[in-house]
């Protein structure tokens, strides 16, 4: 009898072993993005991993995939909705299929500086936008900054006339298409991972991006002239799969929320410095950087301004006004 019991206990223990071993496996959480690790988003994603694993030891393992390694622009949101990845942080220009309100961030010369962006995002309208795609399965957990965009081509771009007839790469945003059409240029939507080669082969003549993206993608090797135009914004929404997030155990959700908060703080602290450092490196390369005079800047502003009216209906006049109000007070 004793022998039988021992055998039964042992058998039960054996049967349970794989289960308990399974229970101890940390949850694998995948974070995919398209930029280099040394950029504001790259750094923030690594911080998120570090803090999440510290707060939830043995419970989660965060795998960060930079540089479109796992999914590129076209696929990352789709993969999130399918549950193949748990966090992505696309630029706000890449959500057009899901909501039109975020197009306010693409309007040329909408935000004079990052302080205005912060104020807008912290306000009622900016916060409501985080939930604007929930019905479509996407939940925004916060905004991460990159910075303001600069123009480049293989000739100086000082007034709108200089851009006429040139092909510019744009992100998948109709506002950005309209922005380049407004100055007589030809916009081409292209995934981020394809831009360097398109510039190198001449498939496109120019581009717009932040200094940190420009330098980390080595655009200074294939563009001779950069203009510090600060004409638009690259900013991100960190999104997760709403269903997956709402089904997480309480402790994990709390830990990840805290980690996201810390990563956001780090992102917003380092973004400006990373862009300034990158600008200095571009300046030290063979490429030239041009500053605009106030009169030149005004010409770009006036040429691109009709884009606001064109998208007012889609975005909502009240949303544009809210953004404009913070801009005027920053
Ligand atoms: C781009 O496609 O130019 C950027 O949105 C890339 C990024 O995520 O910063």
Centre of ligand 1 to C-alpha 171, Å, is 7
What's this model's pTM, rounded to 2 decimal places? 0.91
User: Pseudo-torsion of CA 146, 191, 104, 308, nearest 10°?
Assistant: 120
Nearest to 80 by CA among 142, 140, 126: 140
Beta carbons within 8 Å of 89's beta carbon, 6+ residues apart: 31, 33, 41, 44, 45, 144, 236, 237, 238, 239
What is the mean predicted confidence (pLDDT) over 255-266? Answer: 97
**Residue pLDDT, tens place only, 51-84:** 999 999 999 999 999 999 999 998 999 999 999 9
Q: Is the pLDDT of residue 104 over 60?
A: yes
* pLDDT at res. 8: 57
Centre of ligand 1 to C-alpha 241, Å, is 21
Residues at CB less than 6 angstroms from ligand 1: 34-35, 91, 146, 171, 192, 209, 213, 234
Centre of ligand 1 to C-alpha 57, Å, is 32
Q: Which atom of ligand 1 is nearest to the CA of 213?
A: 9
Centre of ligand 1 to C-alpha 35, Å, is 7
Residue 188 contacts residue 204 (beta carbons within 8 Å): yes
Q: Which atom of ligand 1 is nearest to the CA of 73?
A: 2
313 by Cβ neighbours in 10 Å (0-12 / 13-18 / 19+) ranks as: exposed
The kind and range of the H/E element at 78 are helix 73-82
**Residue pLDDT, tens place only, 162-215:** 999 999 999 999 999 999 999 999 999 999 999 999 999 999 999 999 999 999
Centre of ligand 1 to C-alpha 210, Å, is 9
Using the 8-state DSSP alphabet, how is residue 154 labeled? S
* CA distances from residue 162 to 151, 157, 206, 226, 287 in whole angstroms, order as listed: 11, 5, 11, 13, 17
Q: Which atom of ligand 1 is nearest to the CA of 89?
A: 8
Determine which residue's CA is closest to atom 1 belonging to ligand 1.
192
């Amino acid at each position: 009898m004793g022998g039988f019991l021992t055998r039964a206990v042992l058998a039960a223990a054996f049967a349970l072993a794989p289960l308990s071993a399974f229970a101890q496996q940390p949850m694998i959480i995948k974070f995919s993005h398209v930029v280099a690790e040394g950029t504001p988003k790259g750094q923030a994603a690594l911080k998120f991993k570090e803090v999440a694993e510290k707060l939830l030891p043995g419970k989660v393992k965060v795998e960060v995939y930079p540089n479109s390694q796992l999914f590129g622009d076209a696929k990352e949101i789709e993969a999130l909705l399918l549950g193949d990845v748990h966090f992505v942080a696309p630029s706000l220009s890449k959500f057009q299929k899901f909501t039109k309100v975020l197009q306010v961030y693409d309007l040329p010369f909408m935000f004079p500086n990052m302080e205005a962006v912060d104020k807008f995002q912290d306000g009622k309208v900016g916060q409501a936008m985080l939930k604007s795609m929930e019905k479509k399965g996407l939940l925004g957990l916060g905004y991460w900054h990159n910075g303001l965009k600069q123009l480049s081509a293989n000739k100086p771009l000082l007034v709108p006339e200089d851009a006429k007839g040139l092909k510019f790469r744009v992100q998948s945003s109709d506002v950005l298409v309209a922005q380049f059409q407004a100055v007589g240029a030809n916009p081409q939507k292209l995934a981020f991972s394809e831009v360097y080669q398109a510039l190198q082969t001449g498939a496109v003549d120019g581009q717009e991006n932040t200094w940190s993206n420009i330098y980390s993608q080595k655009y200074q090797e294939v563009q001779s002239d950069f203009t510090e135009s600060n004409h638009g914004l690259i900013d991100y929404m960190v999104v997760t799969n709403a269903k997956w997030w709402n089904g997480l155990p309480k402790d994990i959700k709390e830990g990840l929320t805290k980690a996201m908060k810390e990563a956001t703080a780090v992102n917003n602290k380092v973004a400006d410095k990373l862009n300034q450092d990158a600008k200095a490196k571009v300046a030290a390369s063979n490429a030239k950087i041009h500053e605009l005079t106030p009169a030149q800047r005004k010409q770009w502003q006036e040429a691109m301004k009709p884009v606001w009216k064109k998208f007012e209906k889609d975005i909502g006049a009240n949303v544009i006004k809210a953004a404009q109000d913070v801009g005027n007070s920053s």
